[in-house]
Structure 1
Amino acid sequence: MGTACLRFVLQAVDPALGCPILEAQFSLETIEPLVAILGDEVRDVLDGAIWELDASDLERLSAVVGFVFPRQFGEVRLVEWSTLRAVPYLIHTEFELALMLEGRKPFAAFGDAYPNDCFEAWMALFDPFVEEGRFVRRIIDQPFPSPKRNASGETVEGIRSVYVALRGEEWRIEAWIETWKTAALSGWNEALERRQGELLGYTEWQCDWWAVNRRDVLTPRR
């Protein structure tokens, strides 16, 4: 076998936190072995799609990857390896709720077109903690002049931004909004990039690393 050039990650997702709690990585020369057992649509994973796996999928997959991934920890999904995994600290994306409950992340920002059942289900995980008063949340809808069709052919009515902060850190919501207003007037720059990282709860050394090492191939952090 030659050198593997595609990397994938299996994830077990905690249903209450919405984040991976167990992961395993594997590599393949091509995606064809996955196509053979999961079907042609699994190619969408190479474009950023998330592929959910059931028990029979995992059983067939084990013959390809050489190990059995457990199912008892939560829903199992397949994703492509991301360049963000090469960053020497945890990127908060997907771990927002868990980090906020631990007090390690003061603020998170989300956005997507609406209506979107998947996005709403994800945001609903924050509801109990907003109701308890542990989190402060602001939702801003920006309706389109008229409904549009997204890439999947679904009708969307606008863009929904959801901002969530720890109680006492809600000032970060307005500060975040102001950074984007500034960017709209002056354009994005390194100072705004650092400010974004600080508001999201990244440490000084993490912001320093990001400023030096960030490349176009790195997708946006949250």
Structure 2
Amino acid sequence: MSQGSFILSAFDLNLWCSILETRFTVDDLGALQAIIDADIDDDPDFTGFYSIDPGELNDINQRFNVGFDPASLNLPEIEVWLERERKGRSLRDVPYLVHTNFELPLMLDGRKKLARFTDILPRTEEAFDRWVEKGLFHKEVFLKRIPPSLKPYVIDPDHRAVRDVYYTLKGEEWRIPAMNLLWKTGVGWNQHFERLEGMLFGYEDWEMDWWIAHRNEQSGGIGGVPFCCTVDSEGLKWMELAGFKALPPLHKIQVHIYDPDEDIATAAFLAEDESAVALARFKLSLEMRRKLLDGDARGPWQINREQIPEINRHLKRQVDVLFPRSAP
């Protein structure tokens, strides 16, 4: 019987954020699909978000013993939404309130100084514009044409420009040109830019410290695309002597995309190589990934010894050693 963990949330249309949530376990996905009339062919794994009407909520409460009652809040404009809890990384696991989806109340409270939206949804823009009209927020809009090199990757061929919308508290307008300058540096994103961006948004120092340390641990740092490959004992010694600043000049390596949410699958790469003693995790910019790693976007890629120096010249940060084991 198929199972899953789901979240019901009450969304306040005035504050434009979730104000009440509950997590519950579904022992039969088919039963849930029957209640909300979801098209199983379009979304068999429940990856979408579903608006739930009062009748559907009542059926969910009864069938899965949830007890979710947003009506008890006595608020006039609330929508109820259903989503499946995502595997692995989740903003709900962060030890502080991430601003995402809570931008409006945090700005009204003065805790958030700047909000930035790319191709903002009309209803979201309307919710923020109400406070611009009241004189509490400042708003600026920027249009950026999509470069020809990226047009093949655009889902909608008629989408020719990216629309960025900024909101700040009155008196904090300086943050908008500062953020634009940050994004126009063109030298590749890193943890220093991440910290500056967090400061402009209004995050506290300890929150940014935690976030950067967490990203370093989980995916090998901020900026770039994470990859991994196996290394033998000689390769590991070579990396140690190089201060873990380069991949070893092996005869040939197989490179995989590194997914921090798939530790079991990642560790399997190590098991498949009898001579391997560890995995090496490294990061390249998206531009270098396209240039150096041809073919299937998901890999794996076979890399010859002659290509390794070029990869080493474009590493985003140090090489991390994962899953070390004794030499065979």
What code does the residue aligned with 1:35 have? Q
1:30 deviates by 5.8
| Larger-Rg structure | 2
For the 8 Å contact 1:45–1:79, the answer to whether it is kept is no
Percent of residue pairs identical: 36
Structure 1 residue 91 corresponds to structure 2 residue 98: yes
What code does the residue aligned with 1:88 have? P
1:133 deviates by 2.4
Q: Distance in 2 between matches of 1:192 and 1:149?
A: 26
Equivalent residue for 2:37, pick from 36, 39, 54: 39
Matching residue of 2:107: 100
Q: Distance in 1 between matches of 2:46 and 2:141?
A: 32
For the 8 Å contact 1:149–1:155, the answer to whether it is kept is no
More displaced stretch, 139-148 vs 168-177: 139-148
Question: What SS is found at the alignment partner of 1:94?
Answer: coil
What code does the residue aligned with 1:31 have? L
Equivalent residue for 2:123, pick from 112, 121, 124: 121
Q: Which runs of 4+ in 1 moved over 4 A?
A: 143-151
Matching residue of 1:163: 166
Equivalent residue for 2:16, pick from 11, 15, 18: 18
Q: Equivalences for 1:45-84 in 2 at 5 Å?
A: 46-47=46-47, 49-72=48-71, 73=75, 74-82=78-86, 83-84=90-91
For the 8 Å contact 1:45–1:51, the answer to whether it is kept is no
| Structure 1 unaligned regions, length at least 5 | 114-118
For the 8 Å contact 1:52–1:75, the answer to whether it is kept is yes
For residues 31 and 212 of structure 1, do their structure 2 counterparts lie closer, same or farther at Cα, with a shift above 3 Å needed? Answer: farther
- Structural RMSD (CA): 2.9
1:73-114 CA-partner distances (Å, limit 9, x unpaired):
41100123351100000011111111101111111110127x
Matching residue of 1:116: none
1:36-77 CA-partner distances (Å, limit 9, x unpaired):
322343737743x22100011112111232033224341100
What code does the residue aligned with 2:49 have? I
Question: What SS is found at the alignment partner of 1:26?
Answer: strand
What code does the residue aligned with 1:203 have? E
Question: What SS is found at the alignment partner of 2:117?
Answer: strand
For the 8 Å contact 1:55–1:71, the answer to whether it is kept is no
For the 8 Å contact 1:109–1:163, the answer to whether it is kept is yes
For residues 164 and 13 of structure 1, do their structure 2 counterparts lie closer, same or farther at Cα, with a shift above 3 Å needed? Answer: same
Question: What SS is found at the alignment partner of 1:89?
Answer: coil
Matching residue of 1:141: 143
Q: Equivalences for 1:181-220 in 2 at 5 Å?
A: 181-182=184-185, 185-214=186-215, 215-216=218-219
Q: Distance in 2 between matches of 1:154 and 1:44?
A: 27
Matching residue of 1:177: 180
Q: How many residues align?
A: 207
TM-score (normalised: structure 1): 0.81
Matching residue of 2:119: 112
1:195 deviates by 1.1
Structure 1 residue 9 corresponds to structure 2 residue 11: no
